[in-house]
Amino acid sequence: RFVAAVYTLKTTTHSKVPQLTMIAHKTSTRYTIRKGQGGSQSNFDSSKNKANSIGAQLRREGEKQLREDVVATWKLWRESNYIQCAMGVYVSCPKGMRREYLFGDGNDSVALVTKGDE
């Protein structure tokens, strides 16, 4: 599961007080968790022998598609200047994937936050 929203401050014609306004949001849900076992398939694969079941293959594919969704979302938001004019970006994603989703793990082209950002 991945959820993100971008907010900015806008002043309305009725009130001169700036209000927090959502300018973009995205929700993406994929089958990645091992039901009854807890944790993602990739965590299970790295800790034990790699499972070869159809369910394991579906979960691995779900993780891959989730990553692709996140990369496409960040790319679209950067091209649309949502990130540059944002007051705040709120993200909820799996704990094990936060670093990769937010900082790109060394690949700045897919990261939401890069070293040069303020």
The residues assigned a catalytic role are 41
Q: For the chain, state the CA radius of gyration.
A: 17
- Choose among 3, 35, 9: nearest CA to 22: 9
CA 112 to chain centre: 9
Start-to-end C-alpha separation, the chain: 27
